[in-house]
Amino acid sequence: MSASEGPLVVGVDSSTQSTKVLVVDAATGEVVASGQAPHTVTTGAGRESDPEQWWSALRQALHQCGDAAREAAAVSVGGQQHGLVTLDERGRPVRPALLWNDVRSAPQTRRLVEEFGGPKAWAERVGSVPTPSFTVTKWAWLAEHEPDAVRATASVRLPHDYLTERLTGSGTTDRGDASGTGWWASADESYDEEILARVGLDPALLPTVVRPGEIAGTVRDVGDLPFSKGTLVAPGTGDNAAAALGLGLRPGAPVLSLGTSGTVYAVSRHRPTDPSGTVAGFADARGEWLPLACTLNCTLAVDRIATLFGLDRDAVEPGGGVTLLPYLDGERTPDLPHASGLLHGLRHDTTGGQVLQAAYDGAVHALLKALDMVLDADADPAAPLLLIGGGARGNTWQQTVLRLSGRAVQVPEARELVALGAAAQAAGVLTGEDPAAVARRWGTARGPVLDPVERDEATLDRITGVLSDASALLDPPPSTG
């Protein structure tokens, strides 16, 4: 390990599948150590994970960092958004956490949207129209299906809150992650007590919202963690807000993230209120806003299609006129929680490679349709589309985004942007700097720019037409039998 020029900070990314840790030189942005450990996610009717696994994975990942973690002056946790963590009076999980991609709360979502005046009222009130991903709908589902678990719950947390509380001993969250719950009112940046009363959740069970730049606490005596007692703990935030920090985003710069889920977002100076529900009006971690659209089906769905055909993920072939809507786990954008995948235009001469390319096209199409709604007056139409996430370095993903967007595409060289954003936030509480400015100083967004190509309007129009014609087939009402 090279000698550091400044204090060391730790950034954590607790994602759906694993926890990753980076130890970063706060002066230069050099990653001096890293660690990673996996989580288990159920694959039955819902998507659940044991929060104790997240804590165990954090400890393992930190110990992989060796002495560097022991020297850290501050730490911050970025975590998967929306997850419902229920804790008893001793701070232990009452049951496994309901994750963002658990869509069992679709019926509760419809009822909540209707009872509070419809989509427009929700957008104006909390900035977003709830989907089954949102925490408020998961709590409503839990109250209906597992009332004993609700009665045993003494505190409610989001995934990043849970880990931060294990570090500090106090219950805190930040405005970025709170804005994805459905019970935080973006207009006045406070918990909405009327919504909480409707779903039977006492506001006293919720964490305190720490403002940007404030300290959430200090590391308490937590056994074998390699931190010094008293190490500063930053507020942390949700994964998308952390990635925005990690890129050092300025308002209007468009981002397309290719991971387990796919997202498009940009920092905005204006509070978003999209009544269609396509754009979630999230807050960012700095005091501005992060309008975002998310799809459930992205890299995992495309990889599943490749596996079905026994193909490498880049073994695509052009042509064929086939359309694939890869909604393998329901869908969020478009809002089709009961959807399954749909393949249209299959012929005798259709090849597996053409079907695989159609899966890429279907996944990217959903994100690009939302991009214009995400961008506002702050957007620079000539700015490259920043391509991040696990799929960003895949050649077929890059070429598909280029072909269907018609925009230049920039692929940042920096990896683990959520953890880097958390590290930048930790550095910010040490120095008083804007964490996005810290990341820009580190040069995290540097990377090659791919020149734009002519937009493939024919493919976009074909997918839009199939989606329109098949909407009733894609999302049938749930069976009552």
pLDDT tens-digit series, residues 58-105: 999 999 999 999 999 999 999 999 999 999 999 999 999 999 989 899
The rounded percent of the chain whose pLDDT value lies above 70 is 97
What rounded mean pLDDT belongs to the chain?
A: 93
What SS3 class is residue 85?
strand
**Residue 336: both structure tokens together:** 């089709």
Please check whether residue 358 is in contact with residue 459, taking contact to mean a CB–CB distance below 8 angstroms. no
Band (pLDDT 50/70/90 cuts) for residue 363 is very high
Query: If you average pLDDT over residues 125-149, what whole number do you get?
Result: 96
Maximum mean pLDDT: which of 190-204, 264-278, 369-383: 190-204
Check residue 481 and give its pLDDT: 43
How far, in Å, CA of 323 to CA of 326, rounded?
10
Task: Give, rounded to a whole angstrom, the gap between the first and last alpha carbons of the chain.
Answer: 62
How far, in Å, CA of 402 to CA of 400, rounded?
5
Least confident residue range of 52-61, 113-122, 372-381, 415-424: 372-381
**13: which residues sit within 8 A by CB, 6+ positions away?**
19, 20, 21, 78, 79, 239, 242, 416, 418, 419, 422
Cα of 390 vs its chain's centroid, Å = 13
**67: which residues sit within 8 A by CB, 6+ positions away?**
1
CA dihedral 62, 260, 421, 209 (to 10 degrees): -90
**pLDDT tens digits, 259-295:** 888 999 999 999 999 998 889 999 999 999 999 998 8
Check residue 4 and give its pLDDT: 67
Maximum mean pLDDT: which of 202-211, 261-270, 366-375: 202-211
**pLDDT tens digits, 302-320:** 999 999 999 999 999 999 8
* pLDDT at position 2 over 60: no
* pLDDT at position 114 over 60: yes
**pLDDT tens digits, 144-161:** 999 999 999 999 999 999
In 237-351, where does DSSP find H-type helix? 239-247, 299-308
How far, in Å, CA of 177 to CA of 199, rounded?
19
Q: Which of 25, 102, 192, 239 is catalytic?
A: 239
Please check whether residue 316 is in contact with residue 353, taking contact to mean a CB–CB distance below 8 angstroms. yes
Check residue 119 and give its pLDDT: 95
DSSP H/E element including 151: helix 147-152
How far, in Å, CA of 459 to CA of 173, rounded?
43
Closest Cα to residue 419, out of 35, 168, 77? 77
Cα of 186 vs its chain's centroid, Å = 18
* pLDDT at position 109 over 90: yes
Check residue 1 and give its pLDDT: 44
Please check whether residue 319 is in contact with residue 354, taking contact to mean a CB–CB distance below 8 angstroms. yes
**pLDDT tens digits, 387-433:** 998 899 999 999 999 999 999 999 999 989 999 999 999 999 999 99
Burial class (CB in 10 A: 0-12, 13-18, 19+), 114: exposed
* pLDDT at position 42 over 60: yes
Query: If you average pLDDT over residues 363-367, what whole number do you get?
Result: 95
**pLDDT tens digits, 436-480:** 999 999 999 999 999 999 999 999 999 999 998 887 777 666 655
Residue 239 catalytic?
A: yes
- The bridge status of strand 97-98 relative to strand 184-185 is unpaired
Least confident residue range of 103-112, 366-375, 470-479: 470-479
DSSP H/E element including 467: helix 457-469
